[in-house]
Structure 1
Amino acid sequence: MSDATKTNPGNFFEDFEVGQVLEHATPRTVTEGDRALYQSLYPSRFALPSSAEFAASVGLTRPPVEELIGFHVAFGKTVPDISLNAVANLGYAECRFKRPVVPGDTLSTTSEVIGLKENSNGRSGVVYVRSTATNQRDEIAIEWARWVMVHKRDHDAPAPETVLPDLAPAVAAEDLILPEGLDFSDYDFTAAGEPHRFDDYVVGEKIDHVDGVTLTDAEHMMATRLWQNTAKVHFNTEARPDGTRLVYGGHVISLARALSFNGLANAQLIAAINAGSHVAPAFGGDTVYAWSEVLDKAEIAGSDSVGALRLRLVATKGRDESMTLRGEDGKYAPGVLLDLDIWALVPR
């Protein structure tokens, strides 16, 4: 005899209410093992999270892990309560990395439901949440908003009142936070791998990152388990009508960020994610390429050595040498997988 009341079926769309606060289970301690596994899964070569000596040379007392490690860990905490029954994760906004995550930090995440909208088909709806990840000292490490399409349990359940949150189109440059002690005055361009600094980039220029990586089911599932993300669509071929495993969108983000090293090696730290859309699904066997566009530049108040580049990071299925984001009809061009808008910190 089984007792289904002891297991977690996950929340469905009709289980969410605006204002609901969810405290997510299983705090997770980040280790050097996470750094090693991340660099085995993604071709990331950024000097600051790769080298303790380089991190010390730019004023950081402890070498942080990649920002996206912290993001994936914190995001994974939210999945059992928010997106276990997701159709797809749709987008992000207002994400700020408020302090670096270092090995030994333990991250916990809470979320507040800030919006709901049932889809016209009555079978699913979009849930908007704002999530906050704190470390063992109750300091905020990362905060972000995201929206996700979630199945309804009962298709006849009444639709909730539509509430759409007012989300900023971008994090203001003056709201970016520099890690304590960060100073690029004695920046080692040889060790970093490229000579390009803040003034070498021009608003409007596009950078083809050239390299591509073919996704495999084994790697994307291992990465997703590493972050303790339990969403069914990433693992269970019975969770989707077409019998395929959907690649976790964060896997594509990390892959695109790693590929961007070629041309943006000195974009050492992600300070914010302004917006992001998973434009199309990715599956094992797809080959991912990336290109970037410089959207804006900003000096950082109080620092003569650090500047910020606002970058559109685009991942594509197959290489697009024309670097086309949208067609003449305004719709995303075929092959676009990810449209991510970030602020990155670079030497001036």
Structure 2
Amino acid sequence: MSKTNPGNFFEDFTLGQVIEHATPRTVTDGDRALYGALYPTRFAVPSSAAFAASVGLDPAPVEELIAFHIAFGKTVPDVSLNAVANLGYAECRFHRPIVAGDTLSTRSEVIGLKENSNGKTGVVYVRSTATDQDGAVALEWARWVMVHKRDHAAPAPERVVPELAKVVPVEDLVIPKGLDFTDYDFAAAGEPHRFDDYEVGERIDHVDGVTLSEAEHMMATRLWQNTAKVHFNVEARPDGNRLIYGGHVISMARALSFNGLANAQLIAAINGGSHTAPAFAGDTVYAWSEVLDKAETSAPGVGALRLRLVATKGRDESMTLRGDDGKYAPGVLLDLDYWALVPR
């Protein structure tokens, strides 16, 4: 009997199946340092322990996306090892800031299945929950991924596509305990723009670009213990290219958004996201944002901006999301809708 794990194929999933993912992963300050080496991030809260303490967060949290990538990586061997591509996210909430020393464990429940018309692949919908060392929920999200079938002749399961909320309601956002932006240091943060300076419908060109490299994207993906074959093995795709992990593009775009959104300090929720086109080493990523909504919160001095973050291959000064045909414009790599906490 083989002792190795070939990963699950589409026909291995069943509706309601619950998967406990190995292995727990402890967050360290090394993750913070490596994240800063991989992405041009400069947000003050995860960068400065003194700044974080000044707004009520002590010890200083790591970037929310570090926690997301670690928790997501746990799911890969069981959910997407044999994936064609990760397709999207919804209903992601960060329940509390993650700090060095926290240990994350992840479990997933299969909430939907849909075989594709080609009979060779299918879409698996899962809801994943990451808990900390005390069993408290740290973050949760839903995602859907296209997975290969092992046996193309295997019968299709009953088609179940879950209804997922398009937006996490602002009243369901979890504001970190003690967060207080009343005495926010705008000079230290890097920009003067606050909640009232942003208008719904406004678009912000983040200007800067970063060319993706083969070594960096594989290092990042290994850092999160994401073992998906398509990111490492040139034999895993017919075109012989290693696919850039979608989370790498998310983190790159988020880091680039500092220029224009430096005070969008904390991600409270990800409403939805789509990887609209593949990215490969050599592509140069740019980003722009659109303000979709604004809301006040109960925390002192804290407002919430609902933002659309768009990553593109090559800079698009026109900031075009979709063409006249309703399809994503050429060059769009990522369409991410999220809530960020900003000073009022």
Which one of the candidate residues 155, 160, 165 is aligned to 2:162? Answer: 165
1:260 aligns with 2:267: no
Task: Find the partner of 2:319 among 320, 323, 333.
Answer: 323
Deviations 1:95-123 (A, max 9, x none): 00000110000000000000000000000
Superimposed CA distance per residue, residues 209-259 of structure 1 (whole angstroms, 9 cap, x where no aligned partner): 000000000000000000000000000000000000000000000000000
Distance 2:58 2:43 in 1: 18
How many Å separate the matches in 1 of 2:55 and 2:270?
A: 23
1: CA distance, partners of 2:29 / 2:176: 20
Residue segments in structure 1 that go unaligned for 5+ positions in a row: none
Q: Deviations over 1:254-307 (max 9, x none)?
A: 00000000000000000000000000000000000000000000001x224000
CA apart distance, 1:60: 1.0
> What is residue 67 of structure 2 aligned with on the other side?
70
Contact 2:179 / 2:300 at 8 angstroms: preserved in 1?
A: no
> Separation in 2 of the partners of 1:299 and 1:151?
44
Q: Secondary structure at the residue paired with 1:210? A: coil
Q: How does 1:49-198 map to 2 (within 5 A)?
A: 49-198=46-195
Distance 1:250 1:273 in 2: 13
Q: Is the CA contact (8 Å cut-off) linking 2:285 and 2:315 kept in structure 1?
A: yes
Q: Distance in 2 between matches of 1:52 and 1:75?
A: 26
Q: Report the 3-state secondary structure (helix = DSSP H, G, I; strand = E; otherwise coil) of the residue aligned with 1:6.
A: coil
Aligned pair 1:309/2:305, yes or no?
A: yes
1:296 to 293, 296, 299: 293
SS at match of 1:319: coil
| Corresponding letter in the other structure for 2:319 | M
Residue in 2 aligned with 1:336? Answer: 332
1:288-330 Cα offsets, whole Å, 9 max, x none, are 0000000000001x22400000000000000000000000110
Equivalent position of 1:35 in the other structure: 32
Q: Structure 1: how far apart are the matches of 2:170 and 2:253?
A: 23
Contact 2:10 2:122 in 1 (8 A): yes
Whether the aligned pair in 1 keeps the contact of 2:83 and 2:145 (CA below 8 Å) is yes
Is 1:45 aligned to residue 42 of structure 2?
A: yes
1:173-224 superposed Cα distances (whole Å, 9 cap, x missing partner):
1111111100000100000000000000000000000000000000000000
5 Å-filtered alignment, 1:229-248, equals: 229-248=226-245
Number of equivalences:
344
Distance in 2, matches of 1:331 and 1:180, equals: 41
AA aligned to 1:203 is V
Identity of aligned residues (%): 83
Q: What one-letter code is carried by the residue in structure 2 that aligns with 1:346?
A: V
Unaligned runs of 5+ in 2: none
TM-score, normalisation: structure 2: 1.00
Q: Which ranges of 4 or more aligned residues in structure 1 deviate by more than 3 Å? A: none
Q: Is the 8 A contact 2:205 2:288 kept in 1?
A: yes
Instruction: For 1:209, give the aligned amino acid.
Output: H
**In structure 1, C-alpha distance between the alignment counterparts of 2:306 and 2:281, rounded to whole Å:** 30
